[in-house]
Amino acid sequence: MDWVLLLSRVTICVTIASNFGGMPVFMDIIRKGSTHSVPFLPFLAGFVSNTGGICYAMMRADSVLLTVSGVGIIMSTIYVSLFLFFSSEVGKTSRQLMISGVAIFSFYFYLTGFVREPSSVEAQLGLVVGVLITGMNLAPIASVLPSLSGVFSGLVQYYMLWSYPSKAKMVKAE
């Protein structure tokens, strides 16, 4: 078997499997009967990025992208629908969903109305989808970043205190 074909199939399987990453969260939501403290934003980001992904796949007529994005949009639609069903803040959740829908359609109208060159449309859509998917995949790390920035900031503060001791301490030492 060709290594490129094998790598391609493994990548497809891993990408499709990653769309099932929200299942444990939703099993917990279904068990509790409420979204309680589960944020909607990661699921909304997945929905938006998968919507862009399916549009890009259709534009390119790429069967691999269509398969992966198709599974992604199906899973994202299920997640968003279940979230709306179990959410205690349906109004807020619906507003966020409508705002993202307006953003998607605005970008669509920009691409179809103002960008004339098909290769430019494809390049711009590909770039936006790539950024959205990267952001969606980095979203779980966001809760760790404040801790990392806190550690970095603390180390800088300790260095500054060590390098530049206060004058009161210097007087006592003499």
pLDDT at 144: 60
| Top-confidence residue, 170 or 126 | 126
pLDDT above 90: residue 99: yes
pLDDT at 2: 85
What is the overall mean pLDDT for the chain?
A: 82
Report the distance separating Cα 10 and Cα 16, nearest Å: 10
75, 19 contact by CB (below 8 A)? yes
Report the distance separating Cα 115 and Cα 105, nearest Å: 15
pLDDT above 80: residue 104: yes
% pLDDT > 70, the chain: 82
| b/e burial code for range 6-18 (CB count within 10 A of at least 16 → b) | eeeeeeeeebeeb
Q: Average pLDDT of 53-77?
A: 89
Q: Average pLDDT of 89-104?
A: 91
Cα dihedral across residues 117, 63, 140, 152: positive or negative = negative
26, 79 contact by CB (below 8 A)? yes
Q: Which pLDDT band, with edges at 50, 70 and 90, does 7 fall under?
A: confident
- The DSSP 8-state label assigned to residue 174 in this structure reads -
pLDDT above 80: residue 100: yes
Report the distance separating Cα 127 and Cα 125, nearest Å: 5
Range in 14-28, 51-65, 103-117, 157-171 with the lowest mean pLDDT: 157-171
Q: Which pLDDT band, with edges at 50, 70 and 90, does 139 fall under?
A: low
Report the distance separating Cα 88 and Cα 93, nearest Å: 9
- The DSSP 8-state label assigned to residue 2 in this structure reads -
| Top-confidence residue, 4 or 144 | 4
pLDDT at 153: 67
Cα dihedral across residues 166, 168, 169, 174: positive or negative = positive
Cα dihedral across residues 33, 34, 36, 40: positive or negative = positive
Q: Which pLDDT band, with edges at 50, 70 and 90, does 146 fall under?
A: low
Distant-in-sequence, close-in-space partners of 143: CB < 8 Å, separation ≥ 6: none
